[in-house]
Chains A and B, each alone.
Chain A
Amino acid sequence: MSTLFTIDRDAVVALITGSLRDLYEQNGIAAGDEPGEDTYLIGRRALLDSLGLVTLIVDLEQKIEETFDVALTLANERAMSQKNSPFLTVGSLADYICALLNEQRHA
């Protein structure tokens, strides 16, 4: 793992948790614990509904473009076809975004 990747990943995790906090607040969701790497985004343990996840993805795409000046499409066919969904947790989503960012940088 490169230094660049590590720095990016911390920033990406911060972007995701920040968006998640905003979404919880907008939708009156009492999250209890602060969102972190292990916070679920889909499935029974997730606090977001399907529309909430869509809103999170849209919000993240906009923030990634503003922060990294890269236009990423997160919910593409590749993401949807992966056996282990990259949208499962904050951590898995951060890994997925970092992988896409690195691909863009080396393209």
Chain B
Amino acid sequence: MTTDRQVVLITGARKGIGRFLAERFARNGALVEGCSRESPDWSLEGYTHHLTDVADESQVKAMMTSIARRHSRLDIVINNAGVAAMNHSLLTPAASLDRIFDTNVRGTFLVCREAARLMQRRRFGRIVNLSTIAVPLRLEGEALYAASKSAVETLTRILAREFGPLGITVNAVGPTPIETDLIRGVPSDKIQKIVDNLAIRRLGRFEDVANVIDFFVRPESEYVTGQVIYLGGVS
């Protein structure tokens, strides 16, 4: 049965930005599907959680099949699931490479591909991927994280061209550091150094990310695709 409500999928929805966005979309009347590898310790009306590792093809397919069977549509995808590691390259084990690229690149690609298969049925879709200002700032100690997000940006630009004729836009937002688990292990002086180099010198907020996402997903943004918007005045 097809619902009249917008259906939104947010990966990495258990905590941080993902949870914030899930609550925001649900509050605005959307049916929200979220996923993560572990169960959330919260619940929300209009929200369904999937225990899905985005790097696992069969799990991603199963999640999409579940969404298709229950809603027959998918309007918006926010590829928020991501892992980071801050370390000098000389001290970085290969296991970190696999872990970061599995979630950030493989996961983003699999979710984009399976989402687009569902979205193309209605010739409408909005995909927003999460990048980072670590890409344009070329931050030391974030080689693998930034490289993985560079790949996400390239995916964004090329998928935008491939999915464009199907009515699906693909864009990315690159946040500055935000107080989340992702930067919890990063020394405060390092964070301050990054903030000092921004045009707008403060940490990012969830609302800043949501604002860009709102712009990308609105129906009027059908002519905006393949774009990466960085926060904080980074270019």
Q: Residues of A with Cβ closer than 8 Å to B?
A: 26, 51, 55, 58-59, 61-62, 65, 71
On whether the beta carbons of B65 and A58 are closer than 8 Å, the reply is no
In the complex, A55 Cα to B123 Cα: how many Å? 11
Given A51-B165, A55-B166: A65 and B120 within 8 A (CB)?
no
Q: Which of B65, B121, B165, B166 contacts A65 (CB 8 A)?
A: B65
On whether the beta carbons of A55 and B120 are closer than 8 Å, the reply is yes
On whether the beta carbons of A58 and B120 are closer than 8 Å, the reply is yes
Listed by A's residue number, 14 A-B pairs whose Cβ atoms lie within 8 Å are A26-B123, A51-B165, A51-B166, A55-B120, A55-B166, A58-B117, A58-B120, A59-B121, A61-B117, A62-B68, A62-B117, A62-B121, A65-B65, A71-B61
Contact count A vs B, C-beta below 8 Å? 14
In the complex, A59 Cα to B65 Cα: how many Å? 14
In the complex, A51 Cα to B120 Cα: how many Å? 12
B109-145: which residues lie under 8 A (CB-CB) from chain A? 117, 120-121, 123
Closest to A51 in B: B165
Closest to A55 in B: B120
| 7 closest cross-chain pairs (CB), A and B | A58-B117, A51-B165, A55-B120, A58-B120, A71-B61, A62-B117, A65-B65
CB distance from B116 to the nearest CB of A (A): 8
CB distance from B129 to the nearest CB of A (A): 21
**Neighbouring B residues of A55 by C-beta, 8 Å:** 120, 166
In the complex, A51 Cα to B65 Cα: how many Å? 23
CB distance from B148 to the nearest CB of A (A): 26
In the complex, A71 Cα to B60 Cα: how many Å? 13
In the complex, A65 Cα to B65 Cα: how many Å? 10
Closest to B68 in A: A62
Closest to A49 in B: B165
Extra A-B contacts (12), CB below 8 Å, given A58-B120, A65-B65: A26-B123, A51-B165, A51-B166, A55-B120, A55-B166, A58-B117, A59-B121, A61-B117, A62-B68, A62-B117, A62-B121, A71-B61
**Neighbouring B residues of A71 by C-beta, 8 Å:** 61
